[in-house]
Amino acid sequence: MKTLFGRLADGTEIHRWSLENGGTRMKVLSYGGIVQSLEIPDRDGRYADVSLGFDRIEEYVDSSPYFGALIGRYGNRIGKGAFTLDGETHRLSVDDGENSLHGGAEGFDRRVWEVEPFTEGPDVGLRLSYTSVDGEQGYPGTLRAKVTYTLTARGDWRIDYEATTDKATVVNLTSHVYWNLAGAGSGTIEDHELQLAASHYTPTDAGLIPTGELAPVEGTPFDFRESKPIGRDLRTGHPQLLAAKGYDHNWALDKGVTAEPEHIATLHDPSSGRTLRIATSEPGVQFYSGNFLDGTLVGPGGRSYRQGDALCLETQHYPDSPNHPSFPSTVLRPGETYRTTTIHSFPA
Ligand code: BGC
């Protein structure tokens, strides 16, 4: 079902699509491909919206920290907002200190996407597309991005990303849902239990740019190989946690890049019994513990969002890969097709 959600300042209409399948309900905006709400049942069948969002388009435009949005052209940071490819240096939109974050000041999260609903066998979904012109936010090449959101018969939310370019470029698309499995606005996620299939992570400098090192998680607060409550090691004073105000790092997934999505993360909320499992074809995941939520934003239920009231698990290539030849490559050339898949499932 499609409804008018609101209008941008220039009058552009923003629509909202409602989807439901296999017990999962989802609302998606044409602005930023934003997942405005995602509802799943708890152990007693009671539904809650488990993704932070807003009621009004103005709030997304004026103050959203990427709630539920598609991120492009480059998920996470590129150091000093510059990279060199084939001998040419490209200067990007800088929107995070001296760095470029999430595609720059006017990233894919702030673009109006074309949206086509579909039904295919037992699945329902939306095909979103956006063409980013050559030079947009400093990135070379015209990038044609297609993102498919599918709700499967068993209630999985699958995302298939695709992109092509007419000049060599870099690309790293992801989704920025802020999860709280007890319900958006219900309080902290510190009791949620998280498991990540990674024995290394990429430590960062003060600006949250990877140093290039792949550090073992063994014996550190970054060890989520066995499920543990997110809050357990959050206050241990580890220098990496102090610098980022919590977890805001890329875990280098043990499986690396895979042709098919493989399981990499399980998030469980003991209070509601809700569980999220993530499988991806990507080599990394940014686990962000909502450190910069500061109580100034208010969700649909009238509840404010404070530090640690949600977390993000952004499947991706590593941050700043264009400046680290040792990281898996994010280069896309004409004639190639960028393809990645991430599947979110909500086992009962
Ligand atoms: C980044 C955080 C940033 C947040 C935006 C995350 O993906 O890692 O550093 O603050 O997005 O709200």
Alpha carbon 144 to chain centroid, angstroms: 19
Q: Which atom of ligand 1 is nearest to the CA of 176?
A: 7
Q: What is the mean pLDDT of residues 93-103?
A: 98
pLDDT score at 53: 97
pLDDT score at 188: 98
Is the CB–ligand 1 distance for residue 288 below 6 Å? yes
How far, in Å, CA of 29 to CA of 37, rounded?
10
| Alpha carbon of 106 to ligand 1 centroid (Å) | 15
pLDDT above 90 coverage of the chain, percent: 99
Pocket test for ligand 1, best of 52, 101, 110, 245 (most atoms within 8 A of CB): 101
| Angle 67-247-290 from CA coordinates, rounded to 5° | 25
Backbone angles phi, psi at 59, to 5 degrees: -65, -40
Is the CB–ligand 1 distance for residue 250 below 6 Å? no
Q: What is the mean pLDDT of residues 6-25?
A: 98
DSSP state of 93: P
Q: Which atom of ligand 1 is nearest to the CA of 319?
A: 8
Catalytic residue among 90, 102, 136, 176: 176
pLDDT score at 315: 98
59 included as an active-site residue: no
Q: For residue 241, give both structure tokens.
A: 């946690």
Domains in the chain, start-ordered, CATH in brackets?
Answer: 2-345 (2.70.98.10)
pLDDT score at 208: 98
| Alpha carbon of 288 to ligand 1 centroid (Å) | 7
pLDDT score at 250: 98
Closest CA to 76 of 198, 179, 209, 214: 209
| Alpha carbon of 291 to ligand 1 centroid (Å) | 8
Confidence of residue 126 (pLDDT cuts 50, 70, 90): very high
pLDDT score at 148: 99
Q: How far apart are the first and last CA of the chain?
A: 26
Q: What is the mean pLDDT of residues 281-303?
A: 96
What DSSP string runs through 145-195? EEEEEEE-TT--EEEEEEEEESS-EE-B-EEE--B-TT-TTS---TTSEEE
Cis peptide bond upstream of 73, omega within 30: yes
Burial class (CB in 10 A: 0-12, 13-18, 19+), 26: buried
Closest CA to 34 of 10, 54, 50: 54
- Is the pLDDT reported for residue 23 higher than 90? yes
For 302-323, b/e burial (b = at least 16 CB within 10 A) is eeebbebbbbbbbbbbbbbbbb
Is the CB–ligand 1 distance for residue 312 below 6 Å? yes
Is the CB–ligand 1 distance for residue 180 below 6 Å? no
- Mean of all residue pLDDT scores within the chain: 98
- Is the pLDDT reported for residue 225 higher than 90? yes
| Alpha carbon of 102 to ligand 1 centroid (Å) | 8
Q: What is the mean pLDDT of residues 16-24?
A: 98
Distances (CA, A) of 25 to 3, 31, 157, 189, 279: 16, 19, 10, 22, 20
Is the CB–ligand 1 distance for residue 316 below 6 Å? no
pLDDT score at 102: 98
* pLDDT tens by residue, 239-267: 999 999 999 999 999 999 999 999 999 99
| Alpha carbon of 334 to ligand 1 centroid (Å) | 30
Nearest residue CA, atom 8 of ligand 1?
A: 248
pLDDT score at 301: 85
88 included as an active-site residue: no
pLDDT score at 348: 85
Q: Which residues contact 242 (CB under 8 A, 6 or more apart)?
A: none
Q: Which atom of ligand 1 is nearest to the CA of 71?
A: 7
pTM, two decimal places? 0.98
Q: What is the mean pLDDT of residues 25-35?
A: 98
Catalytic residue among 192, 314, 317, 324: 314
